[in-house]
Amino acid sequence: MSQNIFDNSAPNAQLADPALNRKVDALVARMTIEEKVGQLVQFSAGEATGPSSGRQSDDAMIAAGQVGAFLNVANAKEANVLQHIAVEKSRLHIPLMFGFDVIHGYKTIFPVPLGMAATFDPNLVEASARMAATEASADGIRWVFSPMVDIARDARWGRIVEGSGESPYLGAAMARAYVRGYQGTSLSNPDSVAACVKHFAAYGAAIAGRDYNAIDMSDLTLRQVYLPPYHAAIEAGAATVMSSFNSLNSVPATADAYTLTQILRKEWHFDGFVVSDWGAIGELMAHGVALDSAVAAQKAVLAGLDMDMESGAYHSRLGNLVQSNAVPPAALDEAVRRVLRVKFALGLFDHPYVNEAAAAYTATPEKRALARNAAEESIVLLQNRAQEGQPRLLPISPRVKTIALIGPMADSQSEMLGSWTGNGNPADAITLRTALEQRMQGAGGHVLYAEGTKILTSSTEGFESAKQAAQQADITILALGEDGPTMTGEAASRAHLDLPGNQEQLLDTIAATGKPVVLVLFSGRPLVLDWAAAHVPAILEAWYPGIEAGPALVDLLFGDANPSGKLPVSFPRAVGQEPLYLSQLPTGRPADGVDLTHPPTNGEEKYVSRYIDVPNSPLYPFGYGLSYTQFSYSPVKLNVSSMAVDQLMSASGIGTQNSPIVASVTVRNTGTVAGTEVAQLYLRIRGASVEEPVRMLEGFQRVTLQPGESKQLRFPLGFQELSFINAKSQRVVEPAEYTVFIGGDSTTTDSAKFTVMP
């Protein structure tokens, strides 16, 4: 039985408001074709964030109403200068909209989005987005190119760092949180910014993890895996969408009426506007679906693409296309209406300027506290093995007096910010070295620092002094990783997933001293850590933690904070496993224990779906992360053992409290220190009309427990969690057997079953 659970005809009530739309219509009625086209044109007026042909607009164009929006203007004064021209000199006084890549903070830089996802803490994500909105709007930016909600299951893809990882459920939760944070209670608040959900659609599935590459996938997979986070953001009221660079099933997303009109407008009732990605309308020629920029502009606008970012094709061609009727005037009007709706909703017509005096920034203690909290929650303890006859290395014992701190990431402020650093200042970032030295001085100890090597070099010049430091110390902390700006993010796909340069050699050299080693890893993606996992007792995945990197890491290393981050992506054993993710479909010849309905074959069976040289399983699975305490789970309980489809259909929404099915479990802190656990619920569905993944995340809760304390957690399961996409692209619940797993990561075996009856 199918149901449209999102049958909400106005996901953003402000954009649908009749009074607002009357103003829009009245204005459109007064506009010339040239002025209309102008509203659909966006140019960069600052640092280029794509292939640049230099500044493409001038003051005369703004005064003539030929530009509707800018990007990459990131200071109040400059924004006001441009805005004055638009508002005072243009015939209809229509204000400009300023957009910017505010991805994980504007001036207060938080962990990169993949790190934010590792918090499994949507409230924290919302708070970080709220802070970013406040800071950005003070500089005149009322539109952020975020959240990036592309599901990414291939660690080779550099942009995996910009999103929330591999799970549609987690991705949707984070998408909603970002939108709520950016847009606040009303778009018209002066400190609200319009969110821009990107990149629509399925950009993360680029073949072979190579950026901008084509994508070919079934409609079922598109709807089941890739669309839910975009849809969740639209449902949360996101005012704008950015189309993606890729083609999907041989149609470039920039000119894809199926995604831009059928899905976004007709099925999801989206009332805001769609902006292209940088230069992407022009790129329709390279895609080979347009022989010139006129056809490119025509195809894009007819597909439902409203604003042209930077290609110039709308600016130079759209007017003629309308005059010659190659584009119906109504299509132009509709696109203009969508843009103006957002401008009116933001209150730009009433308050176009920004107070330049208010724009001064300092990283106040309040801002730092939130950034530190985010960093602490984002960092994942991957390994903390006790060595023979020794206690676990972490948290670092107060008896440790001398620490060697080695590695190219140990003292680099700019590396702490990762890719897309907004308007952040590296000088605001506190490195691990600074924070560690402060801490050790306070405790009467000291730090021996040696860079050891650069991120990408073959020179081993620094190895000797690093080795000496390690030999003189009680323990060594190695801070290694990828270069955030060039090796992660856009146009930064990698075919190798190991530590770049000779860092692995450095790790080997230091480990060979026999001194205990803690590896702190800075990366924007899962790396292949098989060597480190076998030879290094303690590993922390720090991602790029933001301005409070050092203090957060020191808190975690010394146990002042207890790690609670969980992996939002699977970590492979070898690159050849990629794309590697939890929610694989079953095969007729399952190989190992990932699919728990089949017993493990221990690599003895030949004719099964596996590699002959590496296990199928990840090195570190989705949802995984250690703590300094331990948690136990009671057996999973369900309030029902079966339920008829009809009865289930009455419960809609996400985990609504009146859902007829509730799974519960009691989590206990069985260790000796307080800690926070992320309890995770996974589903396996068998017996349906289509294959369902071996496991899917369908719920999570963060719970903080004192030693010995326990808490019962309830996970309501409604239509949203239990439904799936069938072969006809409908979201349905069918008679099937459901297994519910709950635990501290995706390998949990604690489970119970119920049946959905006809």
Q: How far is the CB of 239 from ligand NOJ (least distance, A)?
A: 15
Amino acid at 267: E
The pairs formed by 255-259 with CB atoms below 8 angstroms and a separation of 24 or more are 255/284, 255/289, 255/290, 255/296, 255/299, 255/300, 255/302, 255/303, 255/305, 256/201, 256/303, 257/302, 257/303, 257/304, 259/200, 259/201
Instruction: Tell me the two tokens of residue 742.
Output: 């709950």
Q: Is-contact 746 697, C-beta < 8 A?
A: yes
Going along 139-280, which residue ranges are E strands?
Answer: 143-144, 194-200, 240-243, 247-248, 251-252, 273-275
The smaller minimum CB distance to ligand NOJ, of residues 206 and 567, is found at 206
The answer to whether 601 contacts ligand NOJ (rule: CB under 6 A) is no
- Beta-bridge partner residues of 701: 679
Q: How far is the CB of 135 from ligand NOJ (least distance, A)?
A: 18
Q: How far is the CB of 278 from ligand NOJ (least distance, A)?
A: 4
The smaller minimum CB distance to ligand NOJ, of residues 204 and 621, is found at 204
Q: How far is the CB of 489 from ligand NOJ (least distance, A)?
A: 9
Q: Is-contact 517 536, C-beta < 8 A?
A: yes
Q: Is-contact 664 711, C-beta < 8 A?
A: no
Distances (CA, A) of 754 to 8, 152, 597: 30, 31, 15
Given candidates 11, 50, 204, 445, which one binds ligand NOJ under the rule CB under 6 A?
A: 50
Given candidates 101, 121, 283, 548, which one binds ligand NOJ under the rule CB under 6 A?
A: 101
Q: How far is the CB of 49 from ligand NOJ (least distance, A)?
A: 3
The smaller minimum CB distance to ligand NOJ, of residues 278 and 463, is found at 278
Q: How far is the CB of 295 from ligand NOJ (least distance, A)?
A: 23
The smaller minimum CB distance to ligand NOJ, of residues 156 and 566, is found at 156
Q: Is-contact 75 48, C-beta < 8 A?
A: no
Q: Which residues contact 221 (CB under 8 A, 6 or more apart)?
A: none
Q: How far is the CB of 386 from ligand NOJ (least distance, A)?
A: 44
Using alpha carbons, select from 470, 474, 545 the residue that is nearest to residue 506.
470
Q: Is-contact 603 610, C-beta < 8 A?
A: yes
Segment 666 to 725, residues that bind ligand NOJ, using CB under 6 A: none
The smaller minimum CB distance to ligand NOJ, of residues 54 and 514, is found at 54
Distances (CA, A) of 76 to 60, 94, 400, 733: 21, 18, 49, 51
| Catalytic site includes residue 306 | no
The smaller minimum CB distance to ligand NOJ, of residues 482 and 490, is found at 490
* Alpha-carbon 566 to chain mean position: 14
The smaller minimum CB distance to ligand NOJ, of residues 133 and 663, is found at 133
Q: How far is the CB of 468 from ligand NOJ (least distance, A)?
A: 45
Q: Catalytic one among 277, 306, 555, 595?
A: 277
Helix (H, G, I), strand (E, B) or coil at 519: strand
Angle (CA) 749 752 753, round 5°: 125
The smaller minimum CB distance to ligand NOJ, of residues 259 and 748, is found at 259
Segment 186 to 225, residues that bind ligand NOJ, using CB under 6 A: 198
Segment 430 to 489, residues that bind ligand NOJ, using CB under 6 A: none
Q: What residue is closest to ligand NOJ based on CB?
A: 49
The smaller minimum CB distance to ligand NOJ, of residues 277 and 692, is found at 277
Helix (H, G, I), strand (E, B) or coil at 692: coil
Q: How far is the CB of 490 from ligand NOJ (least distance, A)?
A: 5
The answer to whether 104 contacts ligand NOJ (rule: CB under 6 A) is no
Radius of gyration of the chain (CA): 26
The site string for ligand NOJ over 54-93 (x = CB under 6 A, - otherwise) reads -----------------x----------------------
Q: How far apart are CA 95 and CA 333, in angstroms?
A: 18
Given candidates 278, 522, 620, 738, which one binds ligand NOJ under the rule CB under 6 A?
A: 278
Using alpha carbons, select from 144, 124, 145 the residue that is nearest to residue 134.
144
Taking the alpha carbons at both ends of the chain, their separation in whole angstroms is: 10
The smaller minimum CB distance to ligand NOJ, of residues 278 and 715, is found at 278
Q: Which residues contact 588 (CB under 8 A, 6 or more apart)?
A: none
Site residue total, ligand NOJ (CB under 6 A): 9
The smaller minimum CB distance to ligand NOJ, of residues 151 and 542, is found at 151
Q: How far is the CB of 280 from ligand NOJ (least distance, A)?
A: 9
Do β-strands 631-633 and 661-669 pair in parallel, antiparallel, or remain unpaired? antiparallel
Given candidates 277, 376, 595, 692, which one binds ligand NOJ under the rule CB under 6 A?
A: 277
Angle (CA) 743 744 748, round 5°: 50
Segment 130 to 189, residues that bind ligand NOJ, using CB under 6 A: 145
Using alpha carbons, select from 675, 751, 756 the residue that is nearest to residue 718.
756
Q: How far is the CB of 387 from ligand NOJ (least distance, A)?
A: 44
Helices (H), 201-276: 219-221, 227-235, 257
Nearest 5°: phi and psi at 117?
-65, -30
The smaller minimum CB distance to ligand NOJ, of residues 490 and 734, is found at 490
Helices (H), 393-473: 432-442, 463-472
The smaller minimum CB distance to ligand NOJ, of residues 201 and 450, is found at 201
Q: How far is the CB of 354 from ligand NOJ (least distance, A)?
A: 21
Given candidates 2, 49, 316, 710, which one binds ligand NOJ under the rule CB under 6 A?
A: 49
Do β-strands 751-757 and 642-644 pair in parallel, antiparallel, or remain unpaired? parallel
Q: How far apart are CA 669 and CA 663, in angstroms?
A: 20
Q: How far apart are CA 425 and CA 370, in angstroms?
A: 17
Do β-strands 696-705 and 642-644 pair in parallel, antiparallel, or remain unpaired? unpaired
Instruction: Report the phi/psi class of residue 555: left, alpha or beta, with left for phi > 0 and alpha for psi in -120 to 50.
Output: alpha
Q: How far is the CB of 51 from ligand NOJ (least distance, A)?
A: 10
The answer to whether 490 contacts ligand NOJ (rule: CB under 6 A) is yes
Distances (CA, A) of 78 to 75, 500, 654: 6, 39, 44
Give the residue numbers annotated as catalytic, written as ranges: 277
Binding residues (CB under 6 A) for ligand NOJ: these are 49-50, 71, 101, 145, 198, 277-278, 490
